[in-house]
């Protein structure tokens, strides 16, 4: 119980620390595929890894478009 309380205390003091340490396969939200971008309102921009552009040019083009976004939707939708 003491270690749980210590973890909660640290999360409250350093809320961004938990998101910064996330790795692939962990639940969202995560800053794993973002980079700083002062031109975005959020200060972040999507930065997805690209496949081999010589063999998958359309995938690279799609990712280039996605990489211009900040990763947030002002009208998110949830389907259940």
* Phi, psi dihedrals of residue 49, rounded to the nearest 5°: -70, 145
Are both 24 and 40 inside the same structural domain?
A: no
Are both 21 and 60 inside the same structural domain?
A: no
- State the DSSP H helix or E strand holding residue 4, giving kind and residue range, or none if neither: helix 2-13
The reported pLDDT for the residue numbered 30 is 76
Residue 72's nearest CA partner among 29, 26, 37, 35 is 29
The reported pLDDT for the residue numbered 79 is 76
Gyration radius (Cα) of the chain, Å: 17
Are both 61 and 79 inside the same structural domain?
A: yes
Are both 37 and 13 inside the same structural domain?
A: no
Are both 45 and 57 inside the same structural domain?
A: yes
Query: Containing domain of residue 77, as a range?
Result: 33-80
**Numbers of helices and strands, H then E, in the chain:** 3, 2
pLDDT in tens, 27-68: 666 788 889 999 988 888 889 999 999 999 999 999 999 888
């Amino acid at each position: 119980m003491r270690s749980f309380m210590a973890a909660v205390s640290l999360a409250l003091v350093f809320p961004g620390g938990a998101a910064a340490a996330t790795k692939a396969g962990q639940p969202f939200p995560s800053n794993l595929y973002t980079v700083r971008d002062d031109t975005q309102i959020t200060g972040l921009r999507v930065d997805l890894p690209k496949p081999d552009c010589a063999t998958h040019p359309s995938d690279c083009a799609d990712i280039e478009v996605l990489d211009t976004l900040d990763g947030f939707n002002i009208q998110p939708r949830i389907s259940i």
